[in-house]
C-alpha cells in the first residue's frame, strides 16, 4: 500500500515487483488449473471416505443386536432403556408375550411410535392391570389388545412380525435380577411362535 503512495525509486520497484508477483501467480494458477481441480476432487473424495469411515466406526461401536445382552441385579435403568430402544424400533406392531404385566409394562410400551399396535399375551392370574389403565393407554396411545393364555413360560417380544427377541425376565421386573435379552434370528421359530398365537 505504501509503494502505491510513495514516489521513491524503491517504492516504484516494489510496486512493480508486487504486480509481477500477482501476474506470475495468475499464470501459475492458469497453467496448473487441472492440477487444482484434481486436488479439489481428491479432497471431496477424502471427505466422503471420512464420512463412510465414521459411519462404519459408529456401527462397530453399537452393540450388535444378534448378540445377547445380560443385565445384572441393580441395572434397572440400563435394562429398561434397552427394552424401550427395542420397542421404539417397531414400525407397525408389537406383540409381547409375558406372564406378568402391570402398569410398568405399559409405561415401557408407551415409548412406541404413534400408530404401532400392541398385543399382549399374558396370564389372567398375573395380569395386574385394571380395565381403566388399559382403556387409558388405548385412548392415548392407540390399539392395545390383551389376550389371556397359560401356554408360555418364557417372555418374547415380536416387532412387526419380523424380529423376535427372547427376554429372560418379565419386562416389569427388568434389572431386579440377572437376566438376558437376545435377538433370535431363527425364522422357523418366529413363524412357529406366531402360528401358536
Per-residue pLDDT tens for 90-134? Answer: 999 999 999 999 999 999 999 999 999 999 999 999 889 888 999
What pLDDT, on a 0 to 100 scale, did the predictor assign at position 145?
Answer: 92
> Which one has a higher pLDDT value, 66 or 151?
151
CA neighbor of 3 nearest in space, from 22, 27, 28 = 22
Beta bridge partners of 184: 164
What pLDDT, on a 0 to 100 scale, did the predictor assign at position 49?
Answer: 84
What pLDDT, on a 0 to 100 scale, did the predictor assign at position 64?
Answer: 47
What average pLDDT does the chain have?
Answer: 87
**Helix/strand/coil for 61:** helix
What pLDDT, on a 0 to 100 scale, did the predictor assign at position 61?
Answer: 60
In the predicted model, what is the mean pLDDT of residues 133-148?
Answer: 91
What pLDDT, on a 0 to 100 scale, did the predictor assign at position 59?
Answer: 64
In the predicted model, what is the mean pLDDT of residues 152-170?
Answer: 93
| CB 100, CB 122: distance < 8 Å | yes
What pLDDT, on a 0 to 100 scale, did the predictor assign at position 114?
Answer: 93
| CB 99, CB 167: distance < 8 Å | no
Domain ranges within the chain, ordered by starting residue? 2-61, 69-196
What is the percent of the chain where pLDDT is above 90?
Answer: 45
Question: Under CATH, which number does the domain 69-196 receive?
Answer: 3.30.870.10
Per residue in 33-82, pLDDT (tens digit) is 888 888 888 888 888 888 887 777 776 665 444 578 888 998 889 999 99
What pLDDT, on a 0 to 100 scale, did the predictor assign at position 29?
Answer: 83
Instruction: Say what the pTM is.
Output: 0.65
CA distance linking residue 81 with residue 174, whole number of Å: 10
Q: How many CB atoms lie within 10 A of CB 161?
A: 13
Amino acid at each position: 500500500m505504501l509503494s502505491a503512495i510513495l514516489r521513491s525509486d524503491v517504492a516504484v520497484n516494489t510496486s512493480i515487483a508486487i504486480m509481477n508477483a500477482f501476474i506470475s501467480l495468475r499464470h501459475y494458477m492458469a497453467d496448473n488449473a487441472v492440477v487444482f481441480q484434481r486436488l479439489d476432487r481428491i479432497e471431496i473424495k477424502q471427505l466422503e471416505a471420512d464420512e463412510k469411515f465414521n459411519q462404519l466406526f459408529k456401527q462397530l461401536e453399537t452393540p450388535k443386536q444378534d448378540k445377547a445382552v445380560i443385565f445384572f441385579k441393580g441395572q434397572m435403568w440400563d435394562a429398561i432403556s434397552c427394552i424401550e430402544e427395542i420397542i421404539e424400533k417397531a414400525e407397525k406392531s408389537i406383540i409381547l408375550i409375558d406372564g406378568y404385566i402391570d402398569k410398568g409394562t405399559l409405561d415401557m410400551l408407551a415409548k412406541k411410535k404413534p400408530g404401532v399396535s400392541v398385543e399382549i399375551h399374558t396370564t389372567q392370574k398375573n395380569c395386574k392391570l385394571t380395565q381403566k389403565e388399559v382403556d387409558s393407554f388405548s385412548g392415548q396411545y392407540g390399539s392395545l389388545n390383551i389376550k389371556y393364555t397359560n401356554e408360555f413360560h418364557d417372555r418374547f417380544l415380536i416387532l412387526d412380525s419380523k424380529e423376535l427377541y427372547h427376554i429372560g425376565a418379565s419386562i416389569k421386573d427388568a434389572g431386579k435380577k440377572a437376566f438376558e435379552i437376545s435377538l433370535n434370528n431363527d425364522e422357523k421359530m418366529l413363524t412357529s411362535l406366531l402360528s401358536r398365537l
